[in-house]
């Protein structure tokens, strides 16, 4: 499961090739207690891999993490992770993402 950043162009430069982004199915969840608030949060950590396509070797990778208040179903957690990654890669929502 992953997504492709569609070919795009920056400031008149030649178009950049598609980039495939995935977490390769691995993430970790750690519960963090917050005594002052009598509650907890969950820290989600994962590694994001960047490739030219799904079949190509990894170009680079980046460790990322974020926190959530409630732990959702694992299938929903993947969507939350990918939405987080997309937001980090494109905070101004100018890129086109194609989901698998």
What are the per-10-residue average pLDDT scores of the chain (100 residues)? 73 72 86 75 92 88 92 88 91 84
CA 86/CA 76 separation, integer angstroms? 15
Residue 9 confidence (pLDDT) = 59
In terms of DSSP bridges, do strands 39-51 and 27-34 run parallel, antiparallel, or are they unpaired? antiparallel
Residue 80 confidence (pLDDT) = 92
Residue 18 confidence (pLDDT) = 81
Q: Which residue has the tokens 């994962």?
A: 46
The reported pTM is 0.80
Residue 4 confidence (pLDDT) = 85
Residue 8 confidence (pLDDT) = 63
């Amino acid at each position: 499961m992953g997504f492709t950043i569609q070919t795009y162009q920056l400031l008149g430069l030649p178009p950049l090739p598609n980039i495939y982004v995935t977490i390769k199915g691995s993430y970790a969840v750690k519960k963090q207690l917050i005594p002052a608030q009598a509650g907890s949060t969950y820290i989600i950590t994962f590694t994001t891999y960047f490739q030219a396509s799904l079949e190509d070797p990894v170009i680079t990778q980046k460790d990322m993490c974020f926190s959530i208040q409630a732990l959702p179903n694992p299938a929903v957690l993947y969507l939350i992770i990918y939405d987080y990654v997309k937001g980090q890669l494109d905070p101004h929502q100018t890129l086109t993402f194609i989901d698998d």
